Amino acid sequence: MTNSRRNFIRHSATALAGTTLATAIPTESFAATGKKRVAPSDKLRFGVIGCKGMGWSDMNAHLKMPEVDCVALADVDQSVLDERAVSVSSQRGTKPQLFKDYRKMLEMKDLDAVIIGTPDHWHCLAFVDSLSSGRHVYVEKPISARIEECNVMLKAAKRYNNKMVQVGQWQRSGTHYAQAHEYLKSGKLGNIRLVKVWAYQGWMNPVPVLPDSAPPAGVDYDMWLGPAPKRPFNQNRFHFNFRWFWDYAGGLMTDWGVHEIDIALFFMGANAPKSIMASGGKLAYPDDASETPDTLQAVFEYDNFNMLWEHATGIDNGNYGETEGIAFIGNNGTMMVNRGGWRIIPETKRNEDGLRVNKIEALPNQGKGNTDYLQLHAQNFVEAIKKNDASILKCGIETGAVAAINAAMGNVAFRTGRKLYWDAANGNFKNDPGANEYLKAQYNNGWKLPSI
């Protein structure tokens, strides 16, 4: 890295202050900076590992900043590489270097930061390799669907603590979530004893059963599998649908779940449950090709409150008429917050005349507005790099790990069919060797779990 860029990263621009959700620079001020010319020596040079879905959305958000360039793309699918290279060229006028194997990309000398948007089973390896090569990392959620990998990633971030790590739980950068959090802290809701968290996904249709086939031309399927078990190629398991197979991910619980569970636990100041139990299955589409449950309820017991997670595919009519959200249920009222806004639903009591009156003021929906929270999340990552200050990150690795580990526990409870009791001191389930087997990351095909 040149001295000019190093000085830019460490000293240029005023960083965001504080670590709460409320701190955010308006998108408008950021757009204004796009008119300014940034010297090439002062650019942050980004690479992307896994360019098909959220990896590309994340890169696009960063490319809205004039000080960010995309200089490299790594993906196992040549057609994806070619498509994204054209997009980068159209936005920046230069073509990025292309790699099938991300490890070759990490050999580049002039690369400052990496976005990891691979399927979940690749996050840990790519994360550790990127940090150890000296790069800042923006990693998609969940950081992993396996608790053992979450712990490895925490250790790696601690070892390479001079590098910034942002997890793609971008709701943490949402200003209306910050407003809802401030209301909850006011105590007006009274004692909160139950938090409901849900994702009802009506758009999700059955995954049709398809025969195994040869991988598409230009796809390095062995590299795509990586540490996952060796299996014949099947289109159902490739690209987006990998989420619904245990080899690679954890279904809706670790997909939508980490976003919503993160907000629930942050607002409540909780980290680890005392117990977990879950029930559900493939009740909507019992004969489709997916493995993970399409219908699931999980109950997490924390100190002084319970959290109920629910998900369902094929229907939209979730709690409070919302397809997704978090409800904090207190003695005086309920606060419901989701991506569209937040509102207060009061409980009632009888007055001296025996009439029912609200315990607290009802608040209609406090809308989100037009702010792009993913953009703010990307902006926050860049500001942390420039300031060399991990304390201002909206969603650092510890935050990402809390959400991922809790979600993974819900899946373990479902897969074992037992009520599980968490031993926080030892980081495993009490007196349940079978459940503890699900904590482990099973690496195959010659790949090894990183040793930190």
Residues 149 and 229 in one domain: no
- Under 8 Å between Cβ of 260 and 143: no
The whole domain housing 150 covers: 3-172+373-400
Asked whether residue 60 is assigned to any structural domain, the reply reads yes
* Amino acid identity, position 134: G
Number of domains present in the structure of the chain: 2
Q: Are 133 and 157 in a shared domain?
A: yes
All residues at 6 or more sequence positions from 83 whose CB lies less than 8 Å from its CB, including other chains? none
CA distances from 165 to 27, 45, 156, 184, 385 (A): 22, 16, 11, 28, 9
145 with 254: CB under 8 angstroms?
Answer: yes
Region 55-75: what's the mean pLDDT? 97
pLDDT score recorded for residue 37: 77
Average pLDDT along the chain: 92
Burial class of 94 by CB neighbour count within 10 A (0 to 12, 13 to 18, 19+): exposed
> Residue 396 belongs to a domain with what CATH number?
3.40.50.720
Q: 79 with 141, same domain?
A: yes
Task: Answer yes or no: do 149 and 53 share one domain.
Answer: yes
Q: What is the mean pLDDT of residues 408-414?
A: 98
CA–CA dist 414, 128 (Å, integer): 29
Mean pLDDT of all residues in 386-403: 98
Query: Does residue 212 form part of some domain?
Result: yes
pTM across the whole model: 0.91
Kindly tell me if the per-residue pLDDT of 64 is higher than 90: yes
Q: Phi, psi at residue 114, to the nearest 5°?
A: -130, 135
- In a domain, residue 447? The reply is no
pLDDT value at position 14?
30
**247 falls within a domain:** yes
Q: Is residue 419 part of a domain?
A: no
Does residue 273 share a domain with residue 255?
Answer: yes
Question: 187 and 95: one domain?
Answer: no
Whether 166 and 19 map to the same domain: the answer is: yes
The confidence score (pLDDT) of residue 225 equals 98
**Residue 445 in domain:** no
pLDDT digits (tens, 9 = 90+) for 308-321: 999 999 999 999 99
For range 233-245, the mean pLDDT: 96
Shared domain for 193 and 294, answered yes or no, is: yes
Task: Supply the angle between the helices 397-416 and 251-268 in degrees, to the nearest 10.
Answer: 130
pLDDT band at 5 (very low <50, low <70, confident <90, very high): very low
Region 266-274: what's the mean pLDDT? 97
Give the integer Cα–Cα distance in Å for 427 and 420: 13
Distance separating alpha carbons of residues 302 and 409, to the nearest angstrom: 13
Taking 60 as the threshold, does the pLDDT of residue 31 lie above it?
Answer: no
d(C-alpha 141, C-alpha 319), whole Å: 24
Average pLDDT over residues 252-267: 97
pLDDT of residue 325: 98
User: Are 149 and 63 contacting, i.e. CB atoms less than 8 angstroms apart?
Assistant: no
Res. 121: pLDDT tops 50: yes
d(CA 6, CA 8): 5
Q: Domain of 243: which CATH number?
A: 3.30.360.10
**Per-residue model confidence as pLDDT tens digits over 156-209:** 999 999 999 999 999 999 999 999 999 999 999 999 999 999 999 999 999 999
Q: Report pLDDT for 35.
A: 47
Whether 299 contacts 277, CB under 8 Å: yes
The secondary structure element, H or E, covering residue 126 is: helix 123-132
Distant-in-sequence, close-in-space partners of 403: CB < 8 Å, separation ≥ 6: 141, 142, 169, 257, 258, 259, 261, 262, 265
Same domain membership, residue 205 and residue 99: no
Give the pLDDT score at 247: 98
197 shares a domain with 154 = no
pLDDT surpassing 70 at residue 26 = no
pLDDT tens for 134-162 read: 999 999 999 999 999 999 999 999 999 99
Which position has the higher pLDDT, 352 or 137?
137
For the cut 80, the answer to whether the pLDDT of residue 32 exceeds it is no
Q: What percent of the chain has pLDDT over 70?
A: 92
If asked whether residues 162 and 13 sit together in one domain, one would say: yes
138 with 190, same domain? Answer: no
Six token digits for residue 253:
């619980």
Name the pLDDT band for 36 (thresholds 50, 70, 90). low
| Residue 6 CB coordination number (10 Å) | 13
Structure-token pair, residue 63: 């490319």
Residue 87 covered by a domain: yes
